[in-house]
């Protein structure tokens, strides 16, 4: 004769296994990278790692590898902006709102890119943007 405790746990284990099997596809579908293609994210990560290991990156290898990993994690969490213009505009405005009133208009002009000359590149170490803002004489 079987142990009564074993008979009691059998349906509980069966229900737990069934729930896990049913929940797993839902967890992957609604997970952090649900809107991004996991294969594309991994391919980009591998490409970044190869660039770091080649020594052609604009930063040291340790920093490059750390940044590649951080970018991968943010992509998996679907928290990379990927050029969302509305989000970029909101960010620019929020940055300027933090400044004193007399500097706010100049900040917004600079963020707009009007009368701005850009030099350099990310690969060269940075982009320098120069905005001409006329200031009336006192």
Residue 75 CB burial class (10 angstroms; 0-12, 13-18, ≥19):
buried
Kindly list the domain boundaries of the chain, sorted by start residue: 85-131
Beta-ladder partners of 128: 119
* Residue 67 to residue 75: CA distance in whole angstroms: 12
* Residue 68 to residue 72: CA distance in whole angstroms: 6
pLDDT of residue 24: 44
- Digits of tens for pLDDT over the chain (138 positions)? 555 545 455 556 555 554 554 544 444 444 444 445 888 899 999 999 999 999 888 888 999 999 999 999 988 888 776 667 787 788 888 889 989 988 898 888 888 888 888 888 877 788 888 888 888 898
Continuous segment of H or E residues that includes residue 118: strand 116-121
């Amino acid at each position: 004769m079987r142990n009564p405790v074993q008979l009691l746990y059998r349906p509980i284990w069966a229900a737990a296994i069934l729930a896990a099997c049913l929940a797993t596809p839902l967890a992957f579908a609604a997970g952090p990278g649900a809107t991004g293609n996991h294969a594309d994210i991994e391919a980009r990560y591998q490409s970044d790692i190869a660039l770091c290991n080649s020594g052609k990156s604009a930063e040291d290898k340790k920093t490059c590898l750390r940044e590649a990993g951080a970018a991968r994690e943010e992509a998996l969490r679907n928290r990379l902006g990927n050029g969302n213009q509305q989000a970029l505009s909101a960010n620019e405005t929020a940055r300027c709102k933090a400044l004193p009133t007399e500097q706010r208009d100049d900040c917004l002009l600079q963020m707009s890119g009007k009368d701005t000359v850009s030099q350099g590149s990310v690969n060269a170490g940075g982009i320098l943007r120069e905005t001409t803002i006329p200031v009336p004489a006192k």
